[in-house]
Amino acid sequence: MKILVVEDNERVAQFVTKGLREAGHAVDHAATGRDGMFLAASEKYDVIVMDRMLPGGIDGLAIVETLRKTGNKTPILILSALAEVDDRIRGLRAGGDDYLTKPFAFGELAARLDALARRSQGTDPNAALEVADLKMDLLAHRVSRGGTPILLKPREFALLEFMMRHAGQVVTRTMLLEHVWEYHFDPQTNVVDVHISKLRQKIDAGFSPALLQTVRGVGYRLGAE
């Protein structure tokens, strides 16, 4: 992927660009809002990482708004040290596609960027999903593996649907909480792990290979290795 990182903090910028480059992405970095605006408008990126507070009092949100007004639809992840929910909503309203607060784990950022770039390729809401021999019929609300029907509760179905839509990508616990449960808080216990292991029992037990992988310290990935 080609990624633009607009971030004025040198350490953070280095951490992000280095990590993304090591993951095989082409990364451009802009340290000011003006450079960021210029690059975003002149180059074609798969996804943009935009810091909210930029030098010179420029709000990253203003850049996002300007880009959207000029018809630029590149997915944008807003990076901010402001955590208030109100702030997150404002970021998304300005045209951001995702919001991540500092400090963040690199795995979380990479997973979210992956999901954003993939989403921009578009997914048919009615298409049947397929990962290896695991099949999901969205219209009939049916799941089967190797021809054997699997009975899922509604939330398990939603969880699996999200995993299948992001097959091959790492999804984090927070992403699952936000998209499957629509919760924007951290439950005190790691409830997502428990739900994943229940789902794993249903779709992996008795089948080979195991499809639902745990990515240590980051999250999960669905797919045959």
Partner 1 sequence: MIRLLRSVSVRLALGYGAIFILSSFLLVGALWWRTAAYLDREVDAVILADAQAVGDRLHDFGLIGALETVRDRVAAESDEHAIYLLADPGLHALAGNLNAWPAQIAGGPGWYEIGLARNGKLHATRMIYAALPGGYRLLVGRDVQDRVAIRGTILGGLGWAVVIAILLAIGGGLLIRRAVLRQVEAINRATAAIVRGDLARRLPTRDSTDEFDQLSQTINGMLGQIQILIEGVRNASNTVAHDLRTPLAELRNRLEELLRRRPPPEEAWTEVQGAVGDLDRVIGVFNALLRLADIDSGARLSGFRAVRLDTVAGEVAELYGPVAEAKGSDLAFDPPSDAVTVQGDPDLLAQAISNLVDNAVKFTPAGGRVALAVTRDADGGAKVRVTDSGPGIADSEKAEVVRRFYRGDAGKGKSGVGLGLSVVAAVAKLHGGRLEFADGNPGLVATLILPATTAPGALPGPAS
86 scored as a contact of partner 1 (CB under 8 A): yes
122 scored as a contact of partner 1 (CB under 8 A): no
18 scored as a contact of partner 1 (CB under 8 A): no
Nearer to partner 1, 103 or 147 (CB): 103
Binding mask 157-196 for partner 1 (x = CB under 8 A): ------------------------x-xxxxxxx-x--xx-
128 scored as a contact of partner 1 (CB under 8 A): no
Cβ 160 to partner 1 shortest distance, Å: 15
Closest CA to 76 of 111, 39, 108, 113: 113
Nearer to partner 1, 73 or 153 (CB): 153
**Distance separating alpha carbons of residues 149 and 141, to the nearest angstrom:** 11
Nearer to partner 1, 191 or 224 (CB): 191
216: left (phi > 0), else alpha (psi -120 to 50), else beta?
A: beta
DSSP E strands in 124-193: the ranges are 129-131, 134-137, 142-145, 148-150, 170-172
Nearer to partner 1, 73 or 155 (CB): 155
84 scored as a contact of partner 1 (CB under 8 A): yes
Cβ 190 to partner 1 shortest distance, Å: 9
Residue carrying structure tokens 């639809």: 73
Calculate ∠ Cα 185-173-109, nearest 5°: 95
Token pair, residue 211, equals: 């499809």
- CB neighbourhood size of 44 (10 A): 9
Q: Which three-class secondary structure state does DSSP give residue 51?
A: strand
Give residues in contact with partner 1 (CB under 8 A).
83-86, 89, 103, 153, 155, 181, 183-189, 191, 194-195, 198, 217
